[in-house]
Each structure stands twice: as structure tokens, then as C-alpha cells.
Amino acid sequence: MPGRLVDGNDVVAVHQVLTEAVARARRGGGPTLVEAVTYRIDAHTNADDATRYREAAEVETWRAHDPVLILERELTERGLLDEDGRRAAAEAAETMAADLRERMNADPVLDPMDLFAHVYAEQTTQLREQAAQLRAELEAEGEA
């Protein structure tokens, strides 16, 4: 199986390598192993102190290799992106992010009986009994 190493932060390069891999597979050439090398800038979680295992200089080197900046530079060089386009993209991204934040912070309305939905293709006797027990408890508390 052939393999390809690609800069995983370069969207254009990744697209090119994957396009070639798909074309090769469709011609009957089999699979291609694609190794897309990238870097996680931020910590794994807010409890993770990444300074314990990597230097600030390393992170800054990769910050300059940000996938968005690389794509922006490529599109600008090809004459496909100008300042108006950047501004429109930034506004669209912020609108999408604001909408996502709003939806992520909204408390969903949950039906406790959904605990029993989609567990098995056909509910077992025990599951039906448990659902009935919960329904009775909810009705007794006036929540059903």
C-alpha cells in the first residue's frame, strides 16, 4: 500500500493528496495511507497544563502555521480572496459561532421516558417493566 505524508495544516495540500488517493482507489489501485501531520495548539482540556510537556517557542512556531492563515494566504495569492471576502467570512464565522454558543448553552427539554427509547430494536420485558415503574413514579409526582 502506498503512503503519502502531507502537511495536515495545509488544506489545499490535504485536498490534493486525498483527491489523488481517491482517484487511485477508483482506478482499482487500492488504498493509500495518508499521514496528515498537524499540531494541537491548545491544551487537551482546561485542566491540562501544556507548559509541563512543551516549550512556548514550539507552540509559537506552530501558531505561525495555522491552517486558517495558510488557506487565507493561498486564496489571496490566487486572487480568490480580498479584504471584503475576509471581512464577510469573519462575520459569517462569528454569526455561526454565536448561534452555536447560544444553542449549546440552552437547556434542552428532556423527556425521562426517552431513557427507554432506542435501547433495543424490541424492548425486553425488563425494560418495559422499568419504563412502567418510572412512568408511575412520575405520575405520582405530577410530572408525567
Q: d(Cα 33, Cα 1) in Å, to the nearest integer?
A: 7
Residue 17 near residue 34, CB atoms below 8 Å: yes
Q: d(Cα 112, Cα 139) in Å, to the nearest integer?
A: 12
Residue 144 has pLDDT above 80, yes or no: no
3-state secondary structure of 10: coil
What is the number of other CB atoms lying within 10 angstroms of the CB of residue 103? 9
Which DSSP letter does residue 52 get?
G
| pLDDT value at residue 31 | 96
pLDDT tens profile 52-63:
999 999 999 999
pLDDT tens profile 67-103:
999 999 999 999 999 999 999 999 999 999 999 999 9
